[in-house]
Structure 1
Amino acid sequence: MDYFLIWLSVSYSVILYSPLISAQQFAYHYHKCTDNSTYTANSSYPSNLNATLSSLYENAFRSDGFGSISVGKNSDRVFALFQCRGDDSPESCRGCIKTAREDIEIRCPNYKEAIIWYDRCMLRYSNRSIFSVTEESPKAWLGNPYDIGNPIDQNQFNSNLVGLMSQLISRAESSSNFFAMGYKNGTAYDRIFGTVQCTPDISPSECRMCLSGRVSDIGICCSGKLGGNVLTPSCSIRFETYPFYTAPPDPPPPASSPSPPTPPTTSLNPSGERKASSRTILYISVPTSAFVVLFFSICYYCYVHKKAKKENSAMKGGNGIENMERNLSSI
């Protein structure tokens, strides 16, 4: 078992951290061909299996990333299902299922039961019903090859990791596709990113129980590691110190406040009453008219006062001439 875990850890590092892996490729994780479950070429099982896998591929465009189907009867009946990671697009999901189908036929020829995992999808089939049944075997552990290092940092890291997984499990069991992703800020490392997922054909309580078991498995495969992945047929978890999933787009900025409406004209509304803007015009026109009246009143007052002053001066000037004439006549 120790050599097996070492092999998985090395494979994990080569697959996930090799720069030769193209963005369009799907990283293989693990597969299992169930022993003592082979079929013969002259039976109807291979044709039923081919029809089942073809149908799964055609249904991989489903928006929820999950599909199941059965074909055949009795011992030659095939049950199959697929699941893509919850953040994957329908196009990428279909590409992953296509790769998984081609790969599993090569890795598990003539087997009646098999399962294969990639970084973005899982495909399995069997000659027994595998629908709505929680299954935690076979199981694969994939540990990140890099260690945390400092024991103090490791304790803080583990505490943050458990807290993150607890939050994600609660969100996953209440979601429609049993998937959750997110991150948690930490002190030893800036962030821990994680995903949890169950097949949606089991109950929420079964999903929680399955995922809780995978968190416990972290101590077996990934203690002191900077990342890890635990896979079972019914559920899986993964954590890393880098964002490995496709984050949803940022929400749009809040809508700006609407501009104030343009003041309406003074035309009459259908009821024959003036619109509200007529009050504004009235408020403006009344003080303006008063100012004009006051201005002209002042001007008129000044004019009359000035005229009266001139007339008064003229009258005073006339009396002086008369007095002067009297004085001259007396001489």
Structure 2
Amino acid sequence: MGWMEHLARLVRRPEASPKSSTTAAQANKSTFSGLMKVTTSSAKVLLFESLDPQVDARSRNRSVRLPRAMKMAVLLAALAALLGSTASASQIPVRVCYGGNYSSASSYHQSLELLSATLPQKASLAPRLFARASVAIGEATYGLAQCRGDIESAGCRTCIHDGLQGAEGFCGLRKEVFLAYELCTLQLSGRAISWPSRVGISASQPDAATVQSSTFETGMDALVVGVSSLAANTSQLFATAAEEVEADGRHYTAYALAQCTPELTPTDCATCLEDLSFAHLSRGSGGWFATSWCSYSVHLYKFFASQPLRQIPSVTSNTPSGKLAKRKKPLNITPHFYSFHSTNAYTVRTYR
């Protein structure tokens, strides 16, 4: 029985008569004991669990009956803690922290605070949800922010704001910071930020479920190639696509989204997405993958509101390999040392 069912049982449980208070207390305790560890994809929340077996032994010898109001208060507090943990965990980025340190009393910190006050608004109001900024109160701070092209302005502003507010907590006082959420990316630096001609630092968060099938992998590969090519050849450098895949007797519908920052040329966009896909060859059943300059997401569910711009030809075990789009290996693959991925929301990589 799940935790929601336990909550429902407790809420519906009628008040016991005085002569049955012992039985009611034991039943309540049994239900409480069932509300132990609730596991989400990114957090484990302890609701009711005694770590001391002697406490449980003593409690069995007592008749304890919580007032209904107190019982409801405890349950609501537990539910709020669970939902709060899940919500906050979903807002923890994959991050890369490197470079030198600054002090909280330095002019760099002052510049960073001023940049943090302006960059979210600047990016969220831009037509392509992208902005760069620099502030120099003594020592200069540079920032680059990009939101996924299909989200609302308010969501973009919140995503970047949360990243800037949490940067010090995520990376301490490091000057070089890269934070990646699925909905936005943020780069902070003590040096001017420019396109390096090849993907440098990248991040990923694969989906938990995986499909072990060569046909499925071939289909996902074709989807990434298709959506990347489409994004690089549109004026917005943004595209969505979908694909039907038949693998090992099962049917899958996969959805993909790819985009590049508006500062890149179509050729640079194609290079960025190609490099990024090679930096994360093991995609499982999907996930999201990002750099400061480009990103793509692939999932077995529809995660964007609009209709896909393109339907990639279906892939089955009988599809001739010659009809499938294939990635051409870049001449200069980004070293894996600079590629970071997270299997949960708490992974952090810090390099000196």
TM-score exceeds 0.5: yes
Q: For 2:216, what is the secondary structure of its paired residue?
A: helix
Give the whole-Å Cα distance in 2 for the aligned partners of 1:90 and 1:146.
Answer: 31
Query: Do the aligned partners of residues 25 and 146 (structure 1) sit closer, same or farther apart at CA in structure 2, a change above 3 Å counting?
Result: closer
The 5-angstrom pairing of residues 221-240 of structure 1 reads: 221-222=282-283, 225-240=284-299
Paired residue type of 1:45: Y
Q: Identify the residue that residue 79 of structure 1 maps to in structure 2.
A: 142
Q: Identify the residue that residue 113 of structure 1 maps to in structure 2.
A: 176
Q: Identify the residue that residue 273 of structure 2 maps to in structure 1.
A: 211
CA drift of 1:202 comes to 2.1
The 5-angstrom pairing of residues 54-69 of structure 1 reads: 54-59=117-122, 60-69=124-133
Give the whole-Å Cα distance in 1 for the aligned partners of 2:93 and 2:198.
Answer: 18
Q: For 1:187, what is the secondary structure of its paired residue?
A: strand
CA drift of 1:23 comes to 8.0
Give the whole-Å Cα distance in 2 for the aligned partners of 1:25 and 1:48.
Answer: 29
Q: For 2:41, what is the secondary structure of its paired residue?
A: helix
Q: Identify the residue that residue 194 of structure 1 maps to in structure 2.
A: 256
Q: For 1:106, what is the secondary structure of its paired residue?
A: helix
The 5-angstrom pairing of residues 160-199 of structure 1 reads: 160-188=219-247, 189-199=251-261
CA contact (8 A) 2:228 2:270 kept: yes
Paired residue type of 2:274: S
Give the whole-Å Cα distance in 1 for the aligned partners of 2:178 and 2:112.
Answer: 13
Paired residue type of 1:50: E
Check if 1:95 corresponds to 2:146. Answer: no
Give the whole-Å Cα distance in 2 for the aligned partners of 1:144 and 1:134.
Answer: 29
CA drift of 1:132 comes to 4.0
CA contact (8 A) 2:108 2:137 kept: no
Give the whole-Å Cα distance in 2 for the aligned partners of 1:247 and 1:26.
Answer: 23
CA contact (8 A) 1:82 1:121 kept: yes
Give the whole-Å Cα distance in 1 for the aligned partners of 2:241 and 2:104.
Answer: 47
Q: Identify the residue that residue 309 of structure 1 maps to in structure 2.
A: none
CA drift of 1:118 comes to 1.2
Tell which has more relative contact order, 1 or 2 (C-alpha 8 A, sep 6+).
2
CA drift of 1:162 comes to 2.0
Q: Identify the residue that residue 8 of structure 2 maps to in structure 1.
A: none
The 5-angstrom pairing of residues 1-331 of structure 1 reads: 14-15=41-42, 20=83, 27-35=91-99, 37-59=100-122, 60-72=124-136, 76-134=139-197, 136-149=199-212, 154-188=213-247, 189-219=251-281, 221-222=282-283, 225-248=284-307
Query: Do the aligned partners of residues 134 and 52 (structure 1) sit closer, same or farther apart at CA in structure 2, a change above 3 Å counting?
Result: farther
**Structure with the largest fraction of helix:** 1
Query: How big is each residue's C-alpha offset from its partner over 1:81-134, in whole Å with a ceiling of 9 and x where there is no partner?
Result: 110011111111111112111111321232221111112111111011113444
Give the whole-Å Cα distance in 1 for the aligned partners of 2:154 and 2:90.
Answer: 13
CA drift of 1:190 comes to 2.8
CA contact (8 A) 1:143 1:229 kept: yes
Query: How big is each residue's C-alpha offset from its partner over 1:283-312, in whole Å with a ceiling of 9 and x where there is no partner?
Result: xxxxxxxxxxxxxxxxxxxxxxxxxxxxxx
Q: For 1:124, what is the secondary structure of its paired residue?
A: strand
Query: Size of the alignment, in residue pairs?
Result: 228
CA drift of 1:66 comes to 0.5
CA drift of 1:194 comes to 1.0
Compare CA radii of gyration and give the structure with the larger one: 1
Q: For 2:192, what is the secondary structure of its paired residue?
A: coil
Give the whole-Å Cα distance in 1 for the aligned partners of 2:236 and 2:198.
Answer: 18
CA contact (8 A) 1:217 1:230 kept: no
The CA RMSD over aligned residues, in Å, is 2.9
Q: Identify the residue that residue 288 of structure 1 maps to in structure 2.
A: none
Give the whole-Å Cα distance in 2 for the aligned partners of 1:100 and 1:106.
Answer: 10
> What is the percent sequence identity of the aligned residues?
25
Query: Do the aligned partners of residues 164 and 78 (structure 1) sit closer, same or farther apart at CA in structure 2, a change above 3 Å counting?
Result: same
Q: For 2:204, what is the secondary structure of its paired residue?
A: strand
Give the whole-Å Cα distance in 2 for the aligned partners of 1:119 and 1:213.
Answer: 18
Give the whole-Å Cα distance in 1 for the aligned partners of 2:219 and 2:279.
Answer: 16
CA drift of 1:46 comes to 0.8
Query: How big is each residue's C-alpha offset from its partner over 1:193-216, in whole Å with a ceiling of 9 and x where there is no partner?
Result: 111122222222111111112222
Instruction: Report the TM-score, using the length of structure 2 for normalisation.
Output: 0.58
